[in-house]
Amino acid sequence: MIKKPIDIVKKNIVRFPRRTLLLLSSFMLTGFVLFSSIYMFQSVSNGAELIEGRAGADLIISSGKFNPYSLTGEKDTYFNGKELLEFLGKNERITAVAPQLYLETISTVCCGTEGNFPVVAIDPKNDFTLKPFQVLSEPLGDKEVVIGAKAGGDRFIFHAGDEQIEEKVLLFYETYTVKDSLFQTGSGIDDTIYMSLPEAENIISSPFYIKELPKNPLSAVFVQVDKGETDKAANEIEEKFPHLHLQFGNELKGNLQQFLQPMKILSFGVVILVLCMNILQVLTQFIGIVNERKQELGMLRVMGASKWQVAKLMLLEAWLAGAGGGALGIVLSFAVFYDQKDLILIVIELPLIFPVWQEAILYGAGTAVFLGLWAAGGAGLAIRSLLKSPPFYLVQEGESV
Amino acid sequence: MIECIGLSKIYRVTRTKRLFAVKSVDLVIKENTFLSLTGRSGSGKSTLIALITGMMPPTEGEVIVDGQKLSDLEERGLTKLRRGYFGCIRQYPALHPSLTVLENVILPLVVTSLFKKEKKCAAERYLSQVGLGNRMDHYPKQLSGGEVRRAAIARALIMEPEVLIADEPTASLDRESAVQVLRLLKALHMSGKTVVVASHDSLVENYATEQARMESGKLAYCGLTKYTSGQNRIKEAAESPVLEQLSIDSEQKSR
């Protein structure tokens, strides 16, 4: 038994199942494209944000100007890092320190991928620069390495987590097990092989390693500082270690924004195009629906329903179709992202950090509500001219159809 | 009381051609009248009814309903008038095909958010009165033409209008169904409602207390019908079971 206008709307929706299905499908596709674009864009933004600040580093300390494009810690100049690390450890403004040591660029085969790969040592316990890009996030042990996406990571990712399959790589006459792979970042990280600092110390002390390095060598130190304390911390470091070079993490922002600009424009372009196509489709469908129901809607006006009460029925119907179809598309899109996460990361050669699920739900709900309102807007345009006509014309025209 | 003063309606047919659908009509519809508005198709009956009920504005003239000029009313006022004062029944009642007969009757209440539980009982009562008490759960496509018209009458009654206006309520019905519908309208008139019926069928005149005849948009005749003096016809209407029920209802109301 109908009691509220929404009950009539539900009856209208099931009244024409094929048309409803078409309408839902149309909104499902729109929801899919819209949510995918938003989700992807947000993932790229998240990835970019991390890289912008050198994965969260406020300061980068090296013995010469650090190459911002490399983003690997690769630097063929070294300094004795012991005193610096002690100083940084005692400084209250500093919240995290991630030292890196570039060893060598080695020509080798990693996970069946041949190439020249820079080998960099990191402190697995304190490193914060790679964590957002790690596939498995497992601790790095002895004779284990982490590889960038282009250093064989594409292949590794297909059996990531499979204990039966182990990928090996030969470095400095030793065989290392690939423990983890990094997501594609679009930066120098992708080509790099990472090992732990203690492992690097073993290599340096071996007779095969011919490069002369200072004691406790480091090539770069990435530092996180309390909010608003960066300048003070930088001054203190410069004062104490005038021979070292300091670079602020946000200096890299401009370059990355420039790199992402075409993608942003393309993404917005696709969204606008899809929405334009959708609104035209909604208008076509609802003009048809409204014309077909002219007599029925006219009768409602004759029986004392106001313009708004009649319009409300159509708007609610459109809202349900838009939000319902959109929600289906969003769920589908999310499922594809969840299931094909690795494939997407490989195909799209950009740094991607997927939003956390709470954030994803928020985007999904927002997209569904937006599509509902979008559909209602389209229906509103379709019914607008109809409601301007006196009820008698509506009924007469409806009867003659 | 409804007064039409110098009522005209001109339709624009082409850029240069105009059509007088209703021309200078003066008409008074008193309370508790059964007015038959007859005339050939295209004589302006439907247009006149639309003007009276405020379903469209006249080109010239004025409609005054209980002392209120319709031209003074804004959209909200006209909606209110259509909701509470007039109950309209049309040749094609446009019952919602996905709703049952009972749901169709309460539809105006639901759309206007006036639906209450007790209104469902009222709808059931009206459906019983129009002889569709056993067809409440049926869908419009399961009804005959006459039954659809009667359902439309019940739907018009649910808003408890003071004036029932029916446009061609007997069109495309067989004689027996047409008589059933007219008897029903007569019974409603006898229960105190003002009834206006526009029809090309002169059968309506047999049930009306007053008649008006339209010819080419003009009112050709207006006056009492033979019916007012024909007591046998009142008796005929009074004998209908519907009227008996309505009489009981009105008696109960007055108590």
At A43-74, the pLDDT tens digits run: 877 777 666 655 567 888 887 655 543 444 44
In a domain, A287, yes or no: yes
Interface confidence, given as ipTM, is: 0.83
Contact B82 A15 (CB under 8 A): no
Number of domains in chain A: 2
Q: Are residues A327 and A215 in the same domain?
A: no
Write the pLDDT tens digit of every residue in B75-100.
889 999 998 899 999 888 888 988 99
Strand partners, B210: B35, B224
Contact A295 B92 (CB under 8 A): yes
Q: Which residue has the tokens 């060893």?
A: A103
Mean pLDDT, residues A301-312 taken together? 90
In a domain, A58, yes or no: no
In a domain, A268, yes or no: yes
Q: Are residues A137 and A202 in the same domain?
A: yes
In a domain, A81, yes or no: yes
Mean pLDDT of chain B: 85
Q: Are residues A239 and A260 in the same domain?
A: no
Return the residue of A nearest to B158 by Cα: A303
Q: What residues of chain B lie within 8 A of the CB of A387, using their CB?
A: none
Task: Indicate the residue among A243, A265, A287 that finishes a domain.
Answer: A243
Q: Are residues A24 and A75 in the same domain?
A: no
Give residue A154's domain range: 64-243
Write the pLDDT tens digit of every residue in A217-267.
888 888 888 888 888 888 888 888 888 888 777 665 556 667 677 877 888
- Look at residue A74 in the predicted model and tell me its pLDDT: 45
Q: Which of A6-10, A148-152, A264-268 has the lowest mean pLDDT?
A: A148-152
Residue-level length of chain B: 255
In a domain, A248, yes or no: no
| CA dist., res. A171 & res. A188, Å (int) | 19
Contact A390 B120 (CB under 8 A): no
Q: pTM score, two decimals?
A: 0.69
Using CB atoms within 10 A of its CB, is residue B155 exposed (0-12), middle (13-18) or buried (19+)?
buried
Where does the pLDDT of residue A384 fall: very low under 50, low under 70, confident under 90, or very high at 90 and above?
confident
Return the residue of B nearest to A5 by Cα: B111
Q: Are residues A41 and A165 in the same domain?
A: no
Q: Are residues A104 and A209 in the same domain?
A: yes
Q: Are residues A363 and A334 in the same domain?
A: yes
- Look at residue A351 in the predicted model and tell me its pLDDT: 63
User: Which of A5, A296, A391 lies closest to B96 in CB terms?
Assistant: A296
Task: Indicate the residue among A188, A209, A243 that finishes a domain.
Answer: A243
Identify the top-confidence range among A223-227, A272-276, B246-250: A272-276
End-to-end CA gap in chain A: 30
Nearest Cα of chain A lies from the Cα of B12 at a distance, in angstroms, of 13
Quick one: residue A265, left, alpha or beta (phi over 0 = left, psi -120 to 50 = alpha)?
Answer: alpha
Tokens for A207, please give them. 């007779």
- Residue in A196, A226, A204, A255 with CA at minimum distance from that of residue A78: A204
Where does the pLDDT of residue B247 fall: very low under 50, low under 70, confident under 90, or very high at 90 and above?
very low
Residue-level length of chain A: 401
